Amino acid sequence: MKIIDKLAKIDRRIIYLILAVVVILPMIFPSVLRVRVMPPVEKLFHAVDNVPKEKALIIDFDYAPQTAPELEPMGFALLRHAFRKRTKVLILSLYVQMLGLAQNALTEVIEEFNSVAETNTDSIIYGRDYVFLGWVPPPIIPILGMGESITNVYQVDYYGNRTDTLPLMKEIKNYNNVGLLVSLSGSDPPEWWIAYAQNRFGLQVGAGVTAVSASKYFSYYQTGQFSGLMVGMKGAAEYEEMIEKELAIKSRRIASEALPPLTYAHLVIMVFIVIGNISFLMQRRKK
Amino acid sequence: MTLILLAGLFALAPPTGVRAYDTPDDGGGAIIIEWQISQDDQILDGYEIYRSDNGIDFEKVGFIGKGRTTIEDETNDGVKYLYKVAAISDTIRAYSEPSAEVMSYPQWINRNKINIFVAFFIFGGIILYFIYHARKGKELFIRKIAGLQAIDDAVGRATEMGKPILYVPGIGYIDYIATIASLNILGEVAKKCAEYETKLINPHIDPIVYTVAREVVKESYTKVGRPDAFDPDSVYFITDLQFAYAAAVDGIMVREKPATNFLVGWFRAESLILAETGASAGAIQIAGTDQVSQLPFFVTACDYTLIGEELYAASAYINRDPLLLGAIKGQDWGKLIIGAILLAASVIGIITKFPILNLFR
Amino acid sequence: MKRTFPLFLVLIFGIFALLPYIIPHPIIQNTDELLRNNLLKILSAFALVLGLGSLLKVHTDKIKRKRENWEYSWVLIMTFIITSIIGLFGGVSGTGILPTSIGSFPFDIQTIYFNVVVPLGSTMFAMLAFFMASAAYRAFRARSTEATLLLIAGFIVMLGVLPLGNRISPHLPSFAQWIMDVPNVAGQRGILFGVALGAVATSLKIILGIERSWLGGGGGK
């Protein structure tokens, strides 16, 4: 019975140690946990996949360092998908702090593609295949302004080039030339794109959001205002699963690698709760 | 002739029925323009909106996508404007007939908010009615709230153990109701600390809350006749960063080992960090917040938790002042009436086709 | 007078805070903005000076009396002085009169913030996972019927959000989502109703001067 008493009062340091081990070990020895793709992610995948050749995909990178673990894998997966399909891509941020993270994602994915490209046609070329528009304050003004003219809102891109001189921007004038916009954000921007860009200009909008804000955004998905929705780490892992399965894109699956620590941490907590309850019930029975 | 034929082939149908009017229920500076879509809407790029203040020169003031029939324009109050809407496709434009003259001006009342104000006055009236009755000396019952009941015991425990009491008022600003409710409770706790000569530690994240709390505690000590016992350094400001504050408070808990922790106010993610560290330090913890997302953490880690409006009722509960109790009773009756209205509205909405929901918009 | 004047101010400003909600006229809206944006900011700035004064006083006192861990007070004060100088004279991104880089190594206030404050904040945030584990182990006991129901619902939701849940049963994720969408939201809305009405009642009591504990000394009248 002493064991029962001990199990009822496990030192919290043991709990912390075990939790640390089950979170760190899968990160040191990464493995990929395959996931079943749920309808919201599948819909978003098909929405990106079906962007017409003559139209562009806009990705709005609006995540901060705190939300990057959940949203950055989504950005990576979307860029890989778009570049594989040779969809024209425009990248922007509604806040200045997010530009650095957007730049990181772009640099890494383009390097992946260009390192295996054999010809100029295979390569991802700036100005022809994608444009990094950058940031224009305040957040709502570019959303409204791009309905009429993107180059009027972003007169120079992130690198200081005049946007009206870039070949891509000669074809993509406003939302009429945009097939889909996907907003990656841990706060309000997806709502703003719906309220201003979709309501006024009929733009198709998808979103990648943090798990915490999922309950808020599911209602937009249910009404069809979002063409698709990725939620949290699992949503990112599902998108990675889709691009590997449908497009045979073999790359590092960051979100899928993060699922084992997440799963094991949950299981450890559940095991401890079960142990605590078993010892509690046995102690109660003893009394 | 050929040119006229070609022009006819490429001519767009303009939008019709352009109507412009002052945006209702606003502070002025806006006019709404409505129109009927062009017959060629499917092939359009969108609609351009033109405005003139003299009826002759029109300037472009807006653009909206195809299929849309309304837009709001920013204007100067008191100036008469005319509007035209042009359907555009590439470089071809088809202009509508101009609208009638219109002028924007500010309104004094937002009619959309009247239903809320009516509800507010009804609710306020009920509260004032019960306060009036309480003045007449009527005995009012308030149910037991375990967290508030435990304040005396918690302070007594700290006094017996010779350890301090830690009072954390949350990370809210002074205009948050939870912060004000927390300061009310702080006043009571400070009075008991003054009576029993127990050390009080009260760290703050907001400078304004800190200055108010300092005065609250000082007044409490004065009120029980112990102004000399007030230590100004017991109430102090730490930092205005959320997690830096949490780290500092955790440090206080681990070093000072308070016998009692009060975690009362407006909290966010740091709530569990504070509560769990306090539990590991062996303190008895009384928590209270109106943040629904943080309540589960407090319920899990603390001995007593004041949920939502129990926090707001604290002052009335502790003082048993008839006026405050009367306000609580009025509040409860108000909730009952609102519940009954919701039930009735749900039944009407389900059974009939009456647009009952519009009353609540 | 000491108590009457603040009560009078609260009455006037409290009523005035309600007006912009129903009166859209620019006279009211602009005055409200002046009070909220300008006056409050000025008050906050002065209060910040008081707050910092309090912080420095507490720690210099600790150093003077050599109380326990007084050495860390030195760390706080020195860090405060150095960062203040860098922030005040070095400019936001190193564009001020004080040079804030040695070669290619910058130490302007933006760099300090992103490389020191943000990682420390993230570290504290990351500790939540461990605290959740120990709190869950300690507190989630099936003490009563309600606690048992809560435990079962918690297990279902935790399993439902994991890939493992889908392997146990394909209906588990949907059921977990239903628990979050229906009973959870219903309970939250109930509390929110009470909180909203409580807030209105408390505000009314404060504006009308019935609730005066915030003035100090505790108690109503």
Fold topology of B12-103: Immunoglobulin-like (2.60.40)
How distant is the Cα of C13 from the closest Cα of chain B, in angstroms?
A: 12
Output DSSP code: residue A156: B
User: What's CA B81's distance to the chain center, in Å?
Assistant: 38
Q: What pTM did the predictor assign?
A: 0.79
Q: Spell out which residues of chain B touch residue C117, defining contact as CB-CB under 8 Å.
A: 241, 244
Look at residues A234, A254, A258 and name the one whose alpha carbon lies nearest to residue A41.
A234
Residue C46 CA to residue B272 CA, distance in Å, equals 32
Residue C213 CA to residue C195 CA, distance in Å, equals 20
Q: Spell out which residues of chain C touch residue A20, defining contact as CB-CB under 8 Å.
A: 130
CA angle A177, A184, A220 (to 5 degrees): 80
Specify the higher pLDDT residue, C45 or B204.
Answer: B204
Q: Spell out which residues of chain B touch residue C41, defining contact as CB-CB under 8 Å.
A: none
Please name the member of A12, A148, A174 whose beta carbon is closest to the beta carbon of B280.
A12
Q: Contact, A106 vs A89, CB < 8 A?
A: no
- Is the domain spanning B140-320 CATH 2.60.40? The answer is no
Q: How confident is the model at residue B220 (pLDDT cuts 50, 70, 90)?
A: very high
For residue range A209-254, list pLDDT tens digits in order.
988 777 778 888 888 999 999 999 999 999 999 999 999 988 888 8
Asked if the Cβ–Cβ distance from A38 to C163 is below 8 Å, we say no
Most confident range, picked from B138-142, B165-169, C198-202: B165-169
pLDDT at residue C218, rounded to an integer: 46
Asked if the Cβ–Cβ distance from C163 to A33 is below 8 Å, we say yes
Is the reported ipTM for this assembly greater than 0.95?
no
> Is C37's pLDDT higher than 80?
no
> Is C36's pLDDT higher than 80?
no
> Is B16's pLDDT higher than 60?
yes
Asked if the Cβ–Cβ distance from C164 to A267 is below 8 Å, we say yes
Q: Spell out which residues of chain A touch residue C143, defining contact as CB-CB under 8 Å.
A: 280
How distant is the Cα of A63 from the closest Cα of chain C, in angstroms?
A: 15
Look at residues A230, A250, A249, A227 and name the one whose alpha carbon lies nearest to residue A50.
A227
Percent of chain B residues topping a pLDDT of 90? 56
Q: How confident is the model at residue C220 (pLDDT cuts 50, 70, 90)?
A: very low
Residue B50 CA to residue B58 CA, distance in Å, equals 6
Collapse the DSSP code of B243 into the 3-class scheme (helix H, G, I; strand E, B; otherwise coil) and give the result. Answer: helix
Which residue of A lies nearest to B48 if distances are taken between CA atoms?
A: A148
Output the CATH code of domain A34-252: 3.40.50
| Domain segments of chain A as ranges | 1-30+254-287, 34-252
Q: How confident is the model at residue B10 (pLDDT cuts 50, 70, 90)?
A: low
Residue B280 contacts A, CB cutoff 8 Å: yes
Sequence-separated (6 or more) residues with CB below 8 Å from residue B134: B140, B322, B323, B325, B326, B329
Residue A201 CA to residue A193 CA, distance in Å, equals 10
pLDDT at residue A9, rounded to an integer: 83
Asked if the Cβ–Cβ distance from A10 to C137 is below 8 Å, we say yes
pLDDT at residue B261, rounded to an integer: 97
Residue A134 CA to residue A99 CA, distance in Å, equals 7
pLDDT at residue C104, rounded to an integer: 81
CA angle B171, B211, C218 (to 5 degrees): 90
| Domain segments of chain C as ranges | 1-61, 68-140
Q: Which range is least confidently modeled, B180-189, C51-60, C115-124?
A: C115-124
> Is B4's pLDDT higher than 70?
no
For residue range C134-152, list pLDDT tens digits in order.
998 988 888 888 888 888 9
Question: Average pLDDT in the B61-88 region?
Answer: 93
Percent of chain B residues topping a pLDDT of 70? 97
For residue range B323-332, list pLDDT tens digits in order.
888 888 888 8
How distant is the Cα of C187 from the closest Cα of chain B, in angstroms?
A: 10
Q: Which two tokens stand for residue A283?
A: 């102690």
Q: Which two tokens stand for residue B128?
A: 């004032």
Asked if the Cβ–Cβ distance from C162 to A266 is below 8 Å, we say yes
Instruction: Please report the residues numbered 195 through 214 in chain A whose beta carbons come closer than 8 angstroms to any beta carbon of chain C.
Output: 211
Mean pLDDT per 10-residue section of chain A, whose length is 287 residues:
78 92 91 84 96 96 86 96 96 88 92 91 94 87 88 92 95 93 92 90 94 80 92 93 92 88 91 90 83
Collapse the DSSP code of B79 into the 3-class scheme (helix H, G, I; strand E, B; otherwise coil) and give the result. Answer: coil
Q: Contact, C132 vs C140, CB < 8 A?
A: no
Q: Contact, B181 vs B314, CB < 8 A?
A: yes
Q: Is B314 exposed, middle or buried (0-12, 13-18, 19+ CB in 10 A)?
A: buried
Output DSSP code: residue B227: G
| Domain segments of chain B as ranges | 12-103, 111-125+324-360, 140-320
How distant is the Cα of A34 from the closest Cα of chain C, in angstroms?
A: 8
- The number of beta carbons lying within 10 Å of the beta carbon of residue B82 is 19
Question: Average pLDDT in the B337-352 region?
Answer: 88
Q: Which two tokens stand for residue B267?
A: 């909290």
pLDDT at residue A171, rounded to an integer: 92
